[in-house]
Amino acid sequence: METVVGLEIHVELKTESKMFCACQTRFGMPPNSQCCPVCMGLPGALPTVNQKAVELGALAGIALHSQVQAQSRFDRKQYFYPDLPKGYQITQRMHPLCIGGFLSLPDSGKRIEIEEMHLEEDAGKITHRGASSYVDLNRCGLPLLEIVTKPMLSNGQEAYVFLNLLRDTLMMLGVTTGKMQEGALRVDVNVSVHEAGTPLGDRTEMKNLSSFKAVRAAIDHEAARQMKIIASGEKIVGETRRWDERGGYSVSMRKKEGEQDYRYFPEPDLPWLHLDPTGLEEMINRLPELPEAIQLRLIKIPGMAAEKAIQLSNAPALLACFDAAVKIAPDAKKILNWLLGDYRAIAKKNALLPDCPPFTPDQFAALMHRVVAENLPYKDARAELEAISK
Ligand code: ADP
Ligand code: ZN
Ligand code: MG
């Protein structure tokens, strides 16, 4: 049997103010110190769209090869919960900001396709302590980008690699802080199993996993659980399960709610969102080389392992050194040993930054040329590397 996984990722956008009001977004402030009538949904309060949030959402869309829509729109999703005083969440259901897209995994080159990406607002936070529950609405109305993948990941490890690439990409662009411990990136996983070539199986969902490692473990565990159930002749029930990270098991929380429960309708207080095509064009032109492209380019070099390509794609200064060196000393494996092995050891010893060497790419390349082309003995090369690492 095959495992099928789809991810829904909530990314907190890195803005100064909230999605629809001027409240601050700083993390860790005293409870309920960053709210106003708009994000608390008091009668008569009117939302206005945060332009920066839209720009960051569009930037993410471009980076993920998604079709950024010239026109999108907000809808109301109604539900009742104490962390949502408005009684509804403003989200994009019918006309999302971005449609389609993909990211390619470095090791296999497999394209993980994106269904859509939409803007929405976050809900507040509830903490249960003893017999009491505490409501903090500071998070209410924080800008989120929800990224929905197609059901095409095959196991926990693929999801793990995908999520790391996604986070690295979004962090490089300043779309999000990516800080999972602050809830800036939250992942829901959908898992099903089926016989290859047959329709997809019924899925279960696990929400708000707190780390990519937890995502990987939860997926593999859930797939094994489902396969066992099917092998025993029973059926999978569509439900939401909670992953217990300490115990390494999941428990059923509730049966899946139907779509109609939310009574979606167009948000009457917000007009259509129109994007300026020249603004998008400028964004595309300003884009740096992103981790996906770097990894795909590096992986083609003989002697380059996926894991090393990933490391370089997240360390621009090291990448510059590598790129300069491999041009005049075409031995990727040796260069990687010097850059990620010897230099980092020196950095550790002398309290230097492991990802930001003090030498220039040209200095490093010249040394590598002598190592590769002139067979400079290890001891001498090491001494020279130490000398330029000052
Ligand atoms: P819903 O509307 O109930 O949220 P969607 O069709 O929008 O369902 O899918 C939500 C997520 O679930 C997506 O990430 C999608 O890839 C994933 N998904 C859908 N069907 C399956 C399945 N059979 N197995 C695994 N994941 C699935
Ligand atoms: Zn507010
Ligand atoms: Mg959905």
Total-model pTM = 0.94
In angstroms, what is the span from residue 124 Cα to ligand 2's centroid? 12
In angstroms, what is the span from residue 95 Cα to ligand 2's centroid? 25
Q: Crossing angle of helices 306-313/156-172, nearest 10°?
A: 20
- Quote the mean pLDDT of the chain: 95
Are 210 and 245 in contact, with CB atoms under 8 Å apart? Answer: yes
Residue 279 CB contacts under 8 Å (≥ 6 apart), including other chains: 55
Predicted pLDDT of residue 254: 76
Are 147 and 176 in contact, with CB atoms under 8 Å apart? Answer: no
Token pair 């309290």: residue: 351
Q: What are phi and psi of 55, to 5 degrees?
A: -65, -40
In angstroms, what is the span from residue 172 Cα to ligand 2's centroid? 28
Are 161 and 107 in contact, with CB atoms under 8 Å apart? Answer: yes
Predicted pLDDT of residue 258: 61
Q: Crossing angle of helices 361-373/378-388, nearest 10°?
A: 170
Distance, in Å, from the CA atom of 145 to the CA atom of 151, rounded to the nearest integer, reads 19
Are 108 and 157 in contact, with CB atoms under 8 Å apart? Answer: no
In angstroms, what is the span from residue 24 Cα to ligand 3's centroid? 29
pLDDT in tens, 295-335: 999 999 999 999 999 999 999 999 999 999 999 999 999 99
What sign has the CA pseudo-torsion 349, 353, 355, 356? negative
Q: Count CB atoms within 10 A of the CB of residue 379.
A: 8
Predicted pLDDT of residue 145: 98
**Three-state SS annotation for 122-162:** CCCEEEEECCEEEEECCCCCCEEEEEEECCCECCHHHHHHH
Query: How much of the chain, in percent, has pLDDT values that exceed 90?
Result: 92
Decide if pLDDT at 259 tops 80: no
pLDDT in tens, 19-66: 999 999 999 999 999 999 999 999 999 999 999 999 999 999 999 999
With CA atoms as reference, report the closest residue to 236 among 192, 189, 188: 192
Distance, in Å, from the CA atom of 194 to the CA atom of 179, rounded to the nearest integer, reads 34
DSSP single-letter state for residue 262: G
Confirm or reject: Cβ of 8 under 6 Å from ligand 1.
yes
Confirm or reject: Cβ of 203 under 6 Å from ligand 1.
yes
Nearest ligand 1 atom to alpha carbon 205: 12
Q: Which residues pair with 3 in a beta bridge?
A: 193
Confirm or reject: Cβ of 96 under 6 Å from ligand 1.
no
Predicted pLDDT of residue 256: 67
